[in-house]
């Protein structure tokens, strides 16, 4: 039964990829779906790229264990800050200015917005370096789940996931990814609700499970009775850092921001905002809520020996064969959707921003698409190899890889990108300052972690500091450095002043005078 469902699922994914192949006629079509993606596809693409096995297996397990039911705040933050506020603050302006500047990637945006090719190269290098460990982190949780359900070797799981993702992304580009994301999103919505219901039922229902959680004590964490069933949990400060990184961090991640480049129109933005937020409430809120009950299974899991990534698989191991099949497809969907988004961003960035513009000027669109497809294979292969190496190394927790990648990219890009959409006086020097600070802090956290203050030894906490510091660095450095050329800035911001006709239901006419 499980194998039949998986084979059917794989066939559908590949079929969609082959179907979308005929629509890939140029670079814009391969990378952005021709900037004509509707609200449902865009919203689901945003949500499924946001939430993967990193969240379901890694973050939900680790933070549910540490903070109890209070971990649900991370899911709420993901919905309100990472989805609702992100769409409201970035969606419309990103779509308008990126099209006006004819930019298909974040590095291209920085180059054309500031007239600085060096920014494009710098941003491309950062994406190339820090996207790979994030990609590698996706395999770990999925492979643990496959091992539980099918007793399949870890390496075989990695190769299967990598090969399937590469096939449909190579064939159909962004549109195939978006359509498959929609399908995978539906599976995630149904799956997470069913999984929560099944796990709570195995513990006597919600109230019985909550009562059991309130009786759990752990002197090493907190001696307060009922702390794991409380509103803010045993460590609200570190929980706040988790909420900020996983919510605000999406504003600076290239694979998330790029979804706004492809939006079709104003109506798609309005609907997409609502759909994306509701999706996040169910999926992210559900994942962290489920993880909050992890300590009810403490008699079945040895966190010290097996790591936090084993918590969720252990919680699910006692469910029926049919439910495990649904869970496997759920996590597979979450992981493959995120992986596809990451590799298409990585390959397009390397092709368009580094190779084409610096080493192969005049490259035809056909050759650009071929090179992007080739690089997708390269990125998938590198991340798969890194995932297998990581499995045998000292970096055992998914959250570590995720935290380093998110912290570096969001720390480098969030503030420059956000400010450049709203303010004219942002300077190239300010962008570089943010790039250098974010990357340097996270790199130092990798190699000199024991020397950091205790609060910042966590890559998650350091990532939050990198992001928040950037929000200060950019305006301060901009005020102290040479202002950008006025004609360049006015040209970039002229797109917001362009007059368009809208229905009367959208804007009332002015009858004064």
Total Cβ atoms within 10 A of residue 363: 17
CA torsion sign for 176, 258, 81, 276 is: negative
User: Quick one: pLDDT band at residue 504, thresholds 50, 70, 90?
Assistant: low
Task: Give the integer Cα–Cα distance in Å for 259 and 262.
Answer: 6
Integer Rg of the chain from CA: 23
CB under 8 Å, gap of 24 or more: what pairs does 5-10 form? 5/325, 5/329, 6/325, 6/328, 6/329, 6/332, 9/329, 9/332, 10/164
pLDDT in tens, 227-253: 888 888 888 999 999 999 889 989 998
Report the pLDDT value the prediction gives residue 450, as an integer from 0 to 100.
87
The torsion defined by the Cα of 440, 445, 446 and 448, in degrees rounded to 10, comes to 100
Note whether residue 373 is domain-resident.
Answer: yes
Mean pLDDT confidence for 10-29:
77
191-228 tens-digit pLDDT: 888 889 988 998 888 999 889 888 887 766 666 778 88
Position 438 scores a pLDDT of 94
Give 236's contacts (C-beta < 8 A, 6+ positions apart): 70
Distance (Å, rounded) from C-alpha 380 to C-alpha 370? 16
Instruction: Please tell me the number of Cα atoms within 13 Å of 343 on its side-chain side.
Output: 35
**In the structure, what pLDDT confidence band is assigned to residue 513 with cuts at 50, 70 and 90?**
very low
Q: 37 - beta bridge partners?
A: 263
Higher pLDDT, 283 or 403: 283
- Mean pLDDT, rounded, of the chain: 82
Question: 345 and 127 in contact (C-beta within 8 Å)?
Answer: yes
The total of structural domains in the chain comes to 1
* DSSP result, 204-266: TSHHHHHHHHHT--BTTTB-STTGGGSSS-S-HHHHHHHHHHHHHGGGG-HHHHHHHHTB--H
Full residue range of the structural domain in which residue 406 is found: 2-22+34-358+365-493
The tens digit of pLDDT for each residue in 119-132 reads 998 998 898 888 87
- For 154-192, what is each residue's pLDDT tens digit? 677 778 778 887 887 888 777 877 888 888 788 888 888
Q: Please report which confidence band the pLDDT of residue 279 belongs to, taking 50, 70 and 90 as the band edges.
A: very high
Residue 508 has pLDDT above 60, yes or no: no
Question: CB neighbours of 100 closer than 8 A, spacing ≥ 6?
Answer: 492, 494, 495
**Considering Cα of 322, then 324, then 326, then 329, what sign does the dihedral take?**
negative
pLDDT at 165: 79
Band (pLDDT 50/70/90 cuts) for residue 142 is low
Measuring CA to CA, how many Å separate 311 from each of 56, 218, 229, 402, 475?
Answer: 11, 16, 18, 18, 43
Residue 182 lies in a domain: yes
- Return the number of other C-beta atoms located less than 10 Å from residue 52's C-beta: 29
- Lowest mean per-residue pLDDT among 65-69, 188-192, 298-302, 384-388: 384-388
Residue 241 CA, chain-centre distance (Å), reads 17
Q: What is the three-class DSSP state of 394?
A: coil
- Look at residue 479 and tell me if it is in a domain: yes
Tell me how many degrees the CA angle 338-184-274 measures, rounded to the nearest 5: 85
State the pLDDT confidence band at 509, using cuts at 50, 70 and 90: low
Residue 462 pLDDT greater than 70, yes or no: yes
Ramachandran sector of residue 103 (left: φ over 0; alpha: ψ -120 to 50; beta: rest):
beta
Whether 277 maps to a domain, the answer reads: yes
Lowest mean pLDDT among 129-138, 143-152, 314-323: 143-152
Torsion 480-486-492-498 (CA) sign: positive
Write the pLDDT tens digit of every residue in 342-400: 778 888 877 877 777 777 777 787 888 888 888 888 888 887 777 777 666 654 455 46
Whether residue 316 is contained in a domain is answered as yes
Measured from the Cβ of residue 376, the count of other Cβ atoms closer than 10 Å reads: 23
> Between 511 and 20, where is the model more confident?
20
The per-residue pLDDT for 87 is 93
Residue 29 belongs to some domain of the structure: no
> With 60 as the cut, is the pLDDT of residue 512 above it?
no
Residue range 279-299: average pLDDT?
A: 89
Q: Is residue 504 in some structural domain?
A: no
> Number of C-alpha atoms within 13 angstroms, CB side, residue 318?
12
Q: What is the pLDDT of residue 35?
A: 67
Please tell me the predicted confidence (pLDDT) of residue 113. Answer: 93
Q: Which tokens in the block code for residue 508?
A: 């009332």
In this structure, which long-range contacts are made by residues 231-237, counting pairs with CB atoms below 8 Å and at least 24 apart in sequence? 231/70, 232/70, 232/73, 233/66, 233/67, 233/68, 233/69, 233/70, 233/71, 234/66, 234/67, 234/68, 235/66, 235/67, 236/70, 237/455
Residue of 17, 3, 12, 16 lying closest to 328 (CA atoms): 3
In a domain, 228, yes or no: yes
List the one residue out of 426, 68, 423 whose CA is nearest residue 235.
68
Give residue-wise pLDDT tens across range 404-450. 888 899 999 999 999 999 999 999 999 999 999 999 999 998 888 88
Q: What does the alpha-carbon distance between residue 335 and residue 293 come to, in Å, rounded to a whole number?
A: 23
User: 260-276 pLDDT, tens per residue?
Assistant: 887 877 778 888 899 99
Whole-number Å distance between alpha carbons of 233 and 101: 46
CATH number at residue 249: 1.20.1730.10
Between 3-17, 21-35, 471-485, the lowest mean confidence (pLDDT) is in 21-35
């Amino acid at each position: 039964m499980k194998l039949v469902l998986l084979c059917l699922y794989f066939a559908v994914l590949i079929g969609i990829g082959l179907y979308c192949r005929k629509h890939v006629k140029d670079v814009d079509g391969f990378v952005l779906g021709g900037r004509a993606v509707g609200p449902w596809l865009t919203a689901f693409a945003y949500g499924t790229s946001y939430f993967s096995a990193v969240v379901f297996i890694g973050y939900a397990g680790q933070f549910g264990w540490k903070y109890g039911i209070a971990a649900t705040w991370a899911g709420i933050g993901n919905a309100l800050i990472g989805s609702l506020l992100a769409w409201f603050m970035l969606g419309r302006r990103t779509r308008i200015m990126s099209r006006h500047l004819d930019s298909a990637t974040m590095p291209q945006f920085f180059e054309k917005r500031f007239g600085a090719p060096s920014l494009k190269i710098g941003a491309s290098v950062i994406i190339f370096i820090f996207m790979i460990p994030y990609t590698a982190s996706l395999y770990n949780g999925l492979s643990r789940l496959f091992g539980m359900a099918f007793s399949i070797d870890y390496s075989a799981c990695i190769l299967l996931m990598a090969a399937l993702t590469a096939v449909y992304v190579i064939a159909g580009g962004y549109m195939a990814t978006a359509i498959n994301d929609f399908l995978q999103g539906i599976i995630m919505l149904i799956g997470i609700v069913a999984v929560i219901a099944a796990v709570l039922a195995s513990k006597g229902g919600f109230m019985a499970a909550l009562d059991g959680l309130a009786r759990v004590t752990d002197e090493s964490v907190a001696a307060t009775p009922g702390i794991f069933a409380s509103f803010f949990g045993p460590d609200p400060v570190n929980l706040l850092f988790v909420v900020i990184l996983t919510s605000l961090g999406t504003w600076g991640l290239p694979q998330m921001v790029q979804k706004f480049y492809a939006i079709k129109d104003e109506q798609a933005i309005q609907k997409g905002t609502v759909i994306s937020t509701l999706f996040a409430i169910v999926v992210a809120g559900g994942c962290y809520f489920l993880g909050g009950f992890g300590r009810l299974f403490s008699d079945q899991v040895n966190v010290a020996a097996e790591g936090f990534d084993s918590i969720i698989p252990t919680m699910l191991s006692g469910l029926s064969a049919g439910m495990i099949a649904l869970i496997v497809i759920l996590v597979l969907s979450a992981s493959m959707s995120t992986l596809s988004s990451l590799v298409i961003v990585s390959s397009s960035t390397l092709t368009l921003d580094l190779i084409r513009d610096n080493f192969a000027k005049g490259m035809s669109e056909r050759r650009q698409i071929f090179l992007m497809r080739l690089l997708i294979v390269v990125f998938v292969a590198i991340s798969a190899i890194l995932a297998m190496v990581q499995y045998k190394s000292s970096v055992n927790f998914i959250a570590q890889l995720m935290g380093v990648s998110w912290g570096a990219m969001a720390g480098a890009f969030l503030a420059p990108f956000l400010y450049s959409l709203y303010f004219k006086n942002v300077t190239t020097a300010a962008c570089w300052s943010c790039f250098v600070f974010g990357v340097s802090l996270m790199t130092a956290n990798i190699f000199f972690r024991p020397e950091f203050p205790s609060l910042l030894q966590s890559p998650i906490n350091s990532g939050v500091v990198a992001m928040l510091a950037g929000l200060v660095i950019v305006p301060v450095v901009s005020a102290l450095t040479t202002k950008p050329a006025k004609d360049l800035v006015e040209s970039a911001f002229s797109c917001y002043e362009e007059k368009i006709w809208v229905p009367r239901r959208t804007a009332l006419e002015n009858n004064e005078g």
